Structure 1
Amino acid sequence: MLSPFLLSLAILALLSIIFEEVTQINKAKTTLFLGCISWITLFISARDPAHQQLISEQLNENLLEIATLWLFLMSTMTFVAYLNAKGLIQGLVQKIFPQQVSVRVLMILVALFSLVLSSFCDNVTSTLVSLGLLTTFKLEAKVRLRMAVLIIFAVNSGGVALITGDVTTLMIFLEGHLKISELLMLSIPSMISVMLLAVLFSLKSEGEVSTTPTQHHYQTVDIIIAVIFFSTILATMALNVLFAIPPVLTFLTGLSIMFLVGHIFRSNKEELRILEYIRQVEYDTLLFFLGILLLVGMLKEIGTLDLLAQIYTQFDPTISNFITGIGSALVDNVPLTAALLKADPMLNTPEWLSLTYAVGVGGSLLVIGSAAGIIAMTKVKELTFVSYLRYVPALFVCYCIGYSLTLFLAYHFYA
């Protein structure tokens, strides 16, 4: 009876997200509450001290993963909040993007920008920077909503072809199932599916939008901190590949350098209070992540993810991979991929490639299915679980086309 009750808590959390606009209860609060209750229930139902100890160890492992993500998010969001407040992101956009552009062209440009950026940066950084880009244009609510959905799909698609862009791609690569040269092939279906979605969204978009040209007076310290930010991104990728250093450690190092630089450059006329930018970080986002990951950890604890892995092996890998991608819209793709790797299915190269694409992009089918979606939902007021659903048909079509192209190319080159 315990598992059905815990599953009902997860479903209740999903419903609280869906009906947030009706209940007027912040989804971060409901998911955090239900996530905590689920683990309390596990402890209370423990049969003996040994079982309690096992649950405690699992909770500590789960909290470690959450703390790592929290610190990484805090570091990234602090950098982006600072650069945005100083107008550096807007200045960069004005140099890259035209000051006046049609909405249709902007759709294409934003899709390409997010796709390329997410290939080299993590999804969190890519989403924050891409959403910051939107704030520089005067967009209608409907257009901004479509842009946000497009960014989510583009960010998730961009990371599948490189080990620097997506954790699940890195996991599959480290297990030795795919080579970097083979993974690069995924960039073709990723780009085609993203461009297709941009075209579909642009069909209903008319008119032109413009940025407001502004003169920004940057101080030397602002430029230095911008350089630190981009250097930190590059160092994160390089150190992770070369020495397996966790990205959170490199980003915290970059953040500490940012604080030191701010202290060195302070003057009598103006005290740089860089730490204040941490207060601009949306802690609702962090609390939402905490609740979601507690619930996913609970599902892992009661064996739901292992059950999914067992079901996976019962069907043809081509079908299983496709459905797994859809499932990653409901269950975090990292523990789901970990469960599948643990099951060690016998797959050939095309099947591993299709699985990599599916778990990387499939989370885009629901707004809560990826880190990009969760962040966007807390940053774009028009974006809710319900408002996202109207775009699911278009997202599903693009996912299907991308998956089909992956299979076609993979079997053509590696069969």
Structure 2
Amino acid sequence: MMIALGVLWALSEWMNRRVPADAAAVRMPEVLRRVDLSTILFFLGILMAVGALESAGLLRAAAQALDRGVHEVFAVAGAIGLLSSVIDNVPLVAACMGMYPVADAATVAAGADAAYRMAFVADGLFWRLLSFCAGTGGSLLIIGSAAGVVVMGIERITFAWYLRRIAWLALAGYVAGMALIWIERLAGF
């Protein structure tokens, strides 16, 4: 990300080399003053932490513990969605990608439980559930997404107000969505 920013900066300077110095609005330092760098650095830090957990093997160990203890795709994805109400969905999904690598046909065939492993192939049930659960689960509590935190500040919404008036609607939508995905699975879609 930082390399891309550096390349963008160099390219911008080269493209604007003939712009007068008093027209600083198009120069990268002025543009960067308008960018919320703390948010960008927050996500960079979170993604680096997820990478560290993955290289330490902790994410894989967590996935193996869930496989042994729960061993049900809907329960695992549902729990991740509920966790998304507290932890932002971007690092959570990044962690899940480290926990559950996309399986290929050979991995599925070699595994002891092929039906369970089939959920982890590209476009498999787990990945569809994860995208729904992590995205929707972030709305269960207003602090579950960066957008919710921003809305709290802009609209002066309190956590308690959101919990009383909105959280139960988000939970109803979350449960209904998971039920619909389960019905689609039973119907063979």
TM-score by length of 1: 0.33
Matches within 5 A, 1:108-187: 109-131=75-97, 134=100, 137-140=116-119, 145-184=124-163, 185-187=165-167
The answer to whether the aligner puts 1:51 opposite 2:51 as a matched pair is: no
Query: What letter matches 1:178 in structure 2?
Result: I
Which secondary structure state, in structure 1, belongs to the residue aligned with residue 91 of structure 2? helix
Superposition RMSD on alpha carbons, in Å?
Answer: 3.8
Query: What letter matches 1:174 in structure 2?
Result: G
Partner deviation per Cα, 1:121-178 (whole Å, 9 max, x = no partner): 1223321344456559512566853421321222122223434311111112123521
Which secondary structure state, in structure 1, belongs to the residue aligned with residue 143 of structure 2? coil
Aligned match of 2:59 = 84
Query: What letter matches 1:72 in structure 2?
Result: I
Query: What letter matches 1:84 in structure 2?
Result: L
Q: Cα gap change, 1:160/1:63 in structure 2, threshold over 3 Å: closer, same or farther?
A: closer
Query: What letter matches 2:16 in structure 1?
Result: I
Matches within 5 A, 1:186-225: 186-205=166-185
Contact 2:16 2:26 in 1 (8 A): no
Contact 1:119 1:165 in 2 (8 A): yes
Percent identity over paired residues: 16
Mark the runs of 5 or more structure 1 residues left unpaired by the alignment: 1-27, 207-390, 392-415
Distance in 1 between residues matched to 2:50 and 2:34, nearest whole Å: 23
Matches within 5 A, 1:222-371: none
Contact 1:43 1:55 in 2 (8 A): no
Distance in 1 between residues matched to 2:135 and 2:119, nearest whole Å: 24
Distance in 2 between residues matched to 1:197 and 1:42, nearest whole Å: 50
Q: Cα gap change, 1:41/1:139 in structure 2, threshold over 3 Å: closer, same or farther?
A: farther
Structure number with the bigger relative contact order (C-alpha 8 A, sep ≥ 6) is 1
Q: Cα gap change, 1:132/1:139 in structure 2, threshold over 3 Å: closer, same or farther?
A: farther
Structure 1 residue 118 displacement after superposition: 0.6
Runs of 4+ in 1 over 6 A off after TM superposition: none
Q: Cα gap change, 1:88/1:130 in structure 2, threshold over 3 Å: closer, same or farther?
A: closer
Contact 1:131 1:148 in 2 (8 A): no
Structure 1 residue 116 displacement after superposition: 1.0
Distance in 2 between residues matched to 1:156 and 1:202, nearest whole Å: 17
Which secondary structure state, in structure 1, belongs to the residue aligned with residue 27 of structure 2? helix
Which secondary structure state, in structure 2, belongs to the residue aligned with residue 121 of structure 1? coil
